[in-house]
Structure 1
């Protein structure tokens, strides 16, 4: 079961990333990325989360392990918690959803600041492969353009 859910979430994410990187930035493709990608992954995450927390679905824990202590919020406690197929797929889906949402934000931000699609592509791929690193590099690169164009922290120009 978990391998199937894992495969499904990966296909959803890959298709949405392909649309984000390759398709025109028009309302329909962007809506697909947001709702067909991000929201679908969030829905899958929510269903898995509820199923695992309520024990309606079997997490398929490693053999011989005791039930995890959900109150042990430490490296050891989290390591024990993630020693199941369900928890790994849940965690992976979490990454997929948030990285895709971050990629969508980067694409929209880059479009608004006048960066070409070709220039954006490496940042989107880096975000797909290593989410926080891609976001960090984008934040560093965008800052100069944001300041040159007069964007403030609120996202508005000084005159606006």
Structure 2
């Protein structure tokens, strides 16, 4: 049974969104079970999204015009609904991996989890903006930490 016969693209889109949301909820609740949160958000969900991504590429790559040589080529590539969905899964997986890294890095740095939650929300919604916000927050935290410990910044 072909991918497009087993599930509609809209069903895959909805399921992937719910799956990704589970990963983000695990990260938000990670102080309760850090290892489990990382297993869900940095392994299970990205693997599932990656498998669906690969299946979509395998199924639809040959049908689409376009490519990566110009903005117009990318637009043509993503005008195909199957590849547009694959691109969306790519974003879901990689943003979640960035969020999982933020949580691990915050824990390593001693940054309070409550301070990281807005960064996670921004990473979930706006990817690189959340990542940049986290880097700025971590930098301020580490500078303050070194000052509190009497070390030069």
The match for 2:18 is: 11
The answer on whether the counterparts of 1:49 and 1:90 sit within 8 Å (CA) in structure 2 is yes
Report the Cα distance in structure 1 between the residues aligned to 2:143 and 2:52, rounded to whole angstroms: 39
TM-superposed CA distance for 1:88, in Å, is 1.4
Report the Cα distance in structure 2 between the residues aligned to 1:88 and 1:53, rounded to whole angstroms: 11
CA RMSD of aligned residues (A): 1.8
Report the Cα distance in structure 2 between the residues aligned to 1:12 and 1:135, rounded to whole angstroms: 21
Report the Cα distance in structure 2 between the residues aligned to 1:106 and 1:26, rounded to whole angstroms: 13
In terms of fraction of residues, the more helix-rich structure is: 2
Instruction: Please say which of residues 26-35 and 89-98 is displaced more in the overlay.
Output: 26-35
Alignment partner for residue 44 of structure 1, among 43, 52, 55?
Answer: 52
Unaligned runs of 5+ in 2: 1-7, 147-153
Report the Cα distance in structure 2 between the residues aligned to 1:26 and 1:142, rounded to whole angstroms: 19
Aligned residues: 138
The match for 1:21 is: 28
Q: Normalization by structure 1: what TM-score?
A: 0.78
